[in-house]
Amino acid sequence: MLSDQSTTGHEPDPEPREECGVFGVWAPGEEVAKLAYYGLYALQHRGQEAAGISVSDGSQIVVFKDLGLVSQVFDEQVLSSLQGHIAVGHCRYSTTGSTIWENAQPIFRTTATGSGLSFAHNGNLVNTAELRERTTAAGLKPHAGLTGSSSDSDLMCGLLAAAAADKGIEAAALELLPTLRGAFCLTFADESTLYAARDPHGVRPLVLGRLERGWVVASETAALDIVGASFVREVEPGELLAIDAEGLRSSRFATPEPKGCIFEYVYLARPDTTIAGRSVHATRVEIGRRLAKEFPADADLVIPVPESGTPAAIGYAQESGLPYGQGLVKNGYVGRTFIQPSQTIRQLGIRLKLNPLRDVIRGKRLVVVDDSIVRGNTQRALIRMLREAGALEVHVRIASPPVRWPCFYGIDFASRAELIANGVDADGVRRSIGADTLGYVSLDGLVAASEQPKTRLCTACFSGEYPIPLPDDALIGKHLLEGLDAADGPALPVSPAGYGAEDAVRRP
């Protein structure tokens, strides 16, 4: 049956979170559901709230999705039941809409002619309110349920399915895509064709890979590696790809204006991924080298905050000549969980994820390298823990500039009021977190480490310069659609491009 599940009401995570990872495969004769599963496994870091896979066998599309990690949602029995030659996969972290089952992806819609559409999205639109008006005018409603979906992804899928009834998916996509504003990497499919599209600014990464008997599209090159696909190229900004029995074809729906997210290099992407021809790991090591030049420290040992601070800490140690050591142990099995921690466990905070190696730390002046500071809660607790473990001094070095502005293109940062660096200089942040010294890499140093021209990068969270114009504050935000839907009353069931029959969207 189709039902709603709600989350356990966790407190906000202090770390920035990316919205989603997408994966698509067209490969006759392959177990495409299992390829999608492993592809999503490689992309799990991009979204840990929900996961889903749709499969088409040429005549129908079946979708299986649920809240939870990829390994929690799928098992061998489920994957074996998903038979076909086209798969679309998605792992989600929400930046538009709450964490409810209806917002899990892939989203499934049927057109007026009865064909199916499976749709997955990574990114965040900034003209969501406008799209909502268009769907309302067209009589389209979100999926009926206890709450109903409330994501920009569902709006796009509904508009695409409605337009496809007259002109087909590909023509409808070429008509819809130029009207979308913001960051979007899309992977979607009908019964016979796999599609992929990337916004004209190319804010989020999306790549194309080749299998011996098919094609793959994915958010990161690391997902190609895990399924044995060879990297072909990036999906170009403003490009729509279509893959079917006739081969691969490309269409342009907008002029490219590249503005790739620089925070992908800092934190979001896996270190074994390549973006715009530049290794993420190599970039992070180089950031650490530049950080050591810009903010040297008189210390005994360089330690990272694992895992995201590790490459930069290596670079810092190499450039400074200070020894590199492991002073913190990370529990690799701590991710998003549906078990609400007790008050006692919650008070321990960061110890659930990190624990100090006291013999390494005791009596040392430490350089602690982390990827970013957002609210400052994690660093504050970490520094307290290190001092309790016997550290004489704690010198914090950050592998990104101060985060002073929220992201509206697919990263769930805190609001500007919650950002610790908003309106406070570095010394104010240092005092707040309790460090002896604090140094951030400069924006110029970060850009240089990426080896990308600054004109091709989005630096909005550091600079406040948003490359895609934003609407009024009242027309943007994670829960915008929920507010609009509440004003309109409960969602109505089904639409001209409504969800498929209950047996087409399966749950346990």
In tens, the pLDDT along 241-250 reads 999 999 999 9
Q: What is the pLDDT of residue 508?
A: 31
Q: Is 94 found in the same domain as 141?
A: yes
477 falls within a domain: no
How many folded domains does the chain comprise? 2
Is the pLDDT at 475 greater than 80? The verdict is no
| Residue 144 shares a structural domain with residue 222 | yes
Find, among 194, 171, 180, 210, the residue nearest to 87 by Cα.
194
- Same domain for 206 and 352, yes or no, is no
**What would the mean pLDDT of 460-469 be, rounded to a whole number?**
96
Domain assignment present for 465: no
Residue 490 lies in a domain: yes
Long-range contact set of residues 139-142: C-beta below 8 Å, sequence gap at least 24: 139/495, 139/496, 140/495, 140/496, 140/497, 141/491, 141/492, 141/493, 141/494, 141/495, 141/498, 142/102, 142/485, 142/491
Domain that holds residue 50: 20-262+482-506
Q: What is the pLDDT of residues 313-327, one digit of tens each?
A: 999 999 999 999 999
In a domain, 348, yes or no: yes
339/192 same-domain check: no
Active site residue 91: no
Q: Tell me: pLDDT of 493 over 70.
A: no
Quickly state the pLDDT bin for 397 (edges 50, 70, 90). very high
**Does residue 178 share a domain with residue 40?**
yes
Residue 168 included in any domain: yes
Q: What is the pLDDT at residue 213?
A: 93
Q: Was 371 annotated as part of a binding site?
A: yes
What phi and psi, each to the nearest 5 degrees, are found at residue 444?
Answer: -65, -40
Q: Are 352 and 386 contained in the same domain? A: yes
Residue 471 inside a domain? The answer is: no
- Shared domain for 256 and 279, answered yes or no, is no
At 417 the pLDDT is: 86
- When pLDDT is cut at 50, 70 and 90, the band that residue 98 belongs to is low
Residue 7 above 90 pLDDT? no
**Separation of CA 212 from chain center:** 28
User: How far is Cα 66 from Cα 51, in angstroms, rounded to an integer?
Assistant: 6
pLDDT one-digit tens code per residue, 57-93: 999 999 999 999 999 999 999 999 999 999 999 998 7
Q: Which of 20, 91, 157, 185 is catalytic?
A: 20
- Residue whose tokens read 């038979």: 83
308 is in an annotated binding site: yes
Q: Are 489 and 483 in contact (CB under 8 A)?
A: no
| CATH code for position 56 | 3.60.20.10
* 33 & 161 share domain: yes
| In a domain? residue 409 | yes
pLDDT score for 445: 98
Instruction: Establish if 415 belongs to a structural domain.
Output: yes
Model pLDDT for residues 111-158, shown as the tens digit of each residue: 888 899 999 999 999 999 999 999 888 888 765 433 344 578 999 999
Instruction: Tell me the average pLDDT of the chain.
Output: 86
Cα–Cα distance measured from residue 134 to residue 109, given in angstroms and rounded to the nearest whole number: 17
For residue 255, give the nearest of 199, 215, 308 by alpha carbon: 199
* 461 annotated binding-site participant: yes
Q: Is the pLDDT of residue 486 over 70?
A: no
**Angle at which helices 426-433 and 377-388 pack, to 10 degrees?**
50
Do 308 and 428 fall into the same domain? Answer: yes
Q: Do 317 and 293 share a structural domain?
A: yes
The enclosing domain of 424 has a CATH number of 3.40.50.2020
Indicate whether 289 and 202 sit together in one domain.
no
Binding site annotation covers 458? yes
Identify which has the larger pLDDT, 232 or 492: 232
Last residue of a domain, one of 435, 451, 467: 451
Q: Are residues 372 and 401 in the same domain?
A: yes
